[in-house]
Amino acid sequence: MKKHFPLLLAAAMLFLWGCQQERQEIDAVHQEGTDVAVAQKLKAAGFDLSQGFYPYQNGYMVEYDIFLTEAQIDELAAAPQAQKGGRTTHYRTNNLVAALPRTLQVYMDPAFGSYMQSAFDQALGRYNALGLSLSFQRTTNAGAANISILAFYEVSSTLGYSGGFPTNGNPASTIRLNTYYYNNNSRRPDATTVVAHEIGHAIGFRHTDYMNRAFSCGSGGNEGDAGVGAVHIPGTPTNPSANSWMLACSNNTDRPFTADDRTSLRTVYGGGYWEGLPGGATDIGVGADGTAYIIGAGAVAGGYGIYRWNGSNWDNIPGGAVRVDVSPQGTPWVVNNAGNIFRGDGNGAYEVLPGGATDIGVGADGTVYIIGMDVVPGGYGIYRWNGSNWDKIPGGAVKVDVSPQGTPWIVNNAGNIFRGNGSGSFEVLPGLATDIGVGADGTVYITGSQAVAGGYGVYRWNGSDWSMIDGGGVHISVGPQGLPWLVNNANAIFRRR
Ligand SMILES: [Zn+2]
């Protein structure tokens, strides 16, 4: 009998077979029937084939518990190279569930007993507690389900597997759990985690430790084709992430979402809510120290009043302006309605700077960029503060914000979004924007181009594309922990919680 080493191994089995035997088993399986072309495609998509790769039914099992048909393998391998990031701990595929916000109907096979039915409800509850733009609802109608969790019985070390990753914006439809392990008698402590784990694959998450399986499995590969096919999730660590729900192996304990897990899920699928703040605004800026300023809605000389958040309301400080961003020390840089640029001390004193601007952005490292007043293709010239004046860099734009490393993210007058390297080279990003904000942790939000209530849809950069969250606005800035502040087209002010 051919033994397949499962992705989610019981610790006892690991001990039983041991490292050397495991390796031999894989090699034997590989020789028995895996197709070389399929292996090359999977390697190109970033999978580790050193273990847990073998033909299974009408497709292949990869990394032990991910079942892929050849059509799915082709789609994964065909993802654009530009979307492929480095090896990291928290990561996702290029394939995600789309058309958010969305509620997925999930079906649980009645063949599972009450213990597993309860674990299923708890797993869905863990996702729903995060307030993601993707929520999950139990259905008893198998035909209407987006995801079905079905029982199979096999005397083997396989705990379960997912039916691959999302395709065409829909989740992988079928998850199978082995009732040899998951039944009313076993009452395995990892049941809720295993259900949540397989749903994680179905919505596009890969193993947290895919390039270092030894982290959770005690042995295993760091082989495979590194550096492709895995998209790093911004804001998550680059070191192994203990207790993640997406670790490759189970130690048969329950693993609720860790803080990093929650960051991953919220980055990819939104989450949280908009808290309405008092007052009215026409622009907003948040510094790396968390200090928030707005340009108000009441006209004064120079534009509108300038206000600083005191934790419960807005304190008016002297001056009038139309654009604001905030230094890492919490002091404002503003532009008035004549294009004049001022650096404030936060107490109402301003130093006039040379030049003219239509927008301004300050990075967490103190780097300042403006959009100038000279018309060029794409909008206006782009300039960086050198300490005494503005150095022009190539390109044209209408909106700018600055990364923690001091590089510009810009939006041009066609709504196109670019990430600059600071030396005048820009990478075009997908989508269209009307405003852009970059947090001190590197989190990037835009207001998009699609009209919704309040202005335009709000999107977060997920490493290769924009994930829509709820809400609408026209001006956006991002706080130091990656949470956005938003002003809508009725001048209402919101912060993300
Ligand atoms: Zn898995």
Question: Is the backbone peptide bond immediately before 101 cis, with ω within 30 degrees of 0?
Answer: yes
Residue 33 is predicted with a pLDDT of 46
C-alpha 469 to ligand 1 mean position (Å): 26
Measured between alpha carbons, how far is 460 from 440 in angstroms, rounded to an integer?
Answer: 14
Around Cβ 16, how many Cβ atoms within 10 Å? 12
189 or 81, which is more confident: 189
11: pLDDT strictly greater than 90: no
C-alpha 47 to ligand 1 mean position (Å): 12
Average pLDDT (463-472) is 84
C-alpha 246 to ligand 1 mean position (Å): 6
Model confidence band, residue 315 (pLDDT cutoffs 50, 70, 90): very high
Q: Interhelix angle for 36-44 vs 70-77, to 10°? A: 40
14: pLDDT strictly greater than 50: no
C-alpha 20 to ligand 1 mean position (Å): 22
C-alpha 397 to ligand 1 mean position (Å): 43
10 or 266, which is more confident: 266
128: pLDDT strictly greater than 50: yes
C-alpha 66 to ligand 1 mean position (Å): 6
Model confidence band, residue 99 (pLDDT cutoffs 50, 70, 90): confident
Residues 6+ apart with CB under 8 A from 477: 284, 285, 286, 292, 325, 401, 437, 484, 485
C-alpha 236 to ligand 1 mean position (Å): 19
> CB–CB of 296/280 below 8 Å?
yes
Model confidence band, residue 239 (pLDDT cutoffs 50, 70, 90): low
Q: Is the pTM of this model over 0.85?
A: no
214 or 385, which is more confident: 385
Model confidence band, residue 228 (pLDDT cutoffs 50, 70, 90): very low
- Per residue in 40-74, pLDDT (tens digit) is 787 777 676 766 777 777 788 877 777 888 887 88
Measured between alpha carbons, how far is 153 from 144 in angstroms, rounded to an integer?
Answer: 24
C-alpha 157 to ligand 1 mean position (Å): 14
- Per residue in 418-456, pLDDT (tens digit) is 999 988 899 999 999 999 999 998 989 999 999 999 999
307: pLDDT strictly greater than 80: yes
> CB–CB of 295/281 below 8 Å?
yes
- Backbone torsions φ then ψ of 350, nearest 5 degrees: -130, 140
Residue 233 is predicted with a pLDDT of 74
Six-digit token pair at 91? 């990561």
> Mean pLDDT lowest for which of 89-93, 251-255, 288-292, 329-333?
89-93
Domains of the chain from N-terminus onward: 80-269 (3.40.390.10), 274-496 (2.120.10.30)
Average pLDDT (165-172) is 87
C-alpha 473 to ligand 1 mean position (Å): 38
DSSP assignment of 238-307: SS--TT-TT-SS--SS--PPPHHHHHHHHHHH----EEEESS--SEEEE-TTS-EEEEEEEEETTEEEEE
- Backbone torsions φ then ψ of 250, nearest 5 degrees: -95, 140
476: pLDDT strictly greater than 70: yes
Return the residue matching tokens 């150095």: 391
C-alpha 210 to ligand 1 mean position (Å): 9
How much is the CA Rg of the chain, to the nearest whole Å? Answer: 25
Residue 251 is predicted with a pLDDT of 85
C-alpha 265 to ligand 1 mean position (Å): 16
- Residues pairing with 108 in the sheet: 149
